[in-house]
Amino acid sequence: MKNDIDIKSLWKGQQVPVIDLSAVRKKIKYFRLRRMGESCAVIMLMMLALASGVTVWIHWSPLLSVTKAGIILLSIGFMLPVLSYGRQLRLYYGLKTDCSNVDYMSNLLKIKKQEHRQQHIVLNLYFLFLSLGFSFYTYEYTFYHSSPRGIIAYSVLLSWISLNWFVFRPYIIKKRNRRFSKLVKCIESHRDILMKH
């Protein structure tokens, strides 16, 4: 009686599962369109905030130079995301479905570097300029009021700044990283096949 089984022939005879690349391409397309929409929304919101800062300066002319400095710092803070998301928008626009898979991968790496820079440099500078800008801007309005009102106003402002720095900023970074890392893992798992097609 022969109990030996030829494992090599069984292994060679196995069907190789076909990987559905259309699902990967749909994920990439959905991700690309979503990020382009987010970038456009952020750019429009920041431009609206910048326009309202200019309107405040023109219609309610600040008396103290500290208030003007606050408006300038806020404007710089609002321009940083506009420039960063504008660059990111161009990179996502370059991530087209009709380009080769090698170009896809190189564009994704550029986007990953841009997002890393955006999360670690631009977002920190954005919150820094906003924190300083609001601190300077509210000085004039608390200066002419009594001390308890000024203390309350700055306490609320510091609470808001702390909430931004320690709650909103880490949440935004984690959320964006989680979405991007899911896409990169999906692409990395199919990288060899994508490079061949």
Q: Per-residue pLDDT tens for 72-129?
A: 999 999 999 899 889 888 888 877 666 666 677 777 777 778 777 877 788 888 888 9
- Rounded Cα–Cα distance for residues 118 and 176 (Å): 11
- Please answer whether residues 133 and 71 qualify as being in contact, where contact means their C-beta atoms are separated by less than 8 angstroms: yes
| Per-residue model confidence (pLDDT) at position 88 | 85
Tell me which of 8 and 33 has the higher pLDDT.
Answer: 33
Tell me which of 169 and 52 has the higher pLDDT.
Answer: 52
Confidence check: pLDDT of 17 > 60: no
Place of tokens 């564009």: 107
Q: CA triplet 135, 168, 86: central angle to 5 degrees? A: 85
How many Å from the N-terminal Cα to the C-terminal Cα in the chain?
A: 49
Model confidence band, residue 45 (pLDDT cutoffs 50, 70, 90)? very high
Q: What is the pTM of this model?
A: 0.71
| Per-residue model confidence (pLDDT) at position 41 | 92
In the predicted model, what is the mean pLDDT of the chain?
Answer: 78
- Rounded Cα–Cα distance for residues 24 and 188 (Å): 10
Per residue in 124-154, pLDDT (tens digit) is 888 889 889 888 888 877 777 667 877 887 8
Maximal C-alpha separation, the chain: 103
| Per-residue model confidence (pLDDT) at position 63 | 81
- Rounded Cα–Cα distance for residues 38 and 190 (Å): 27
Domain spans, the chain:
22-196
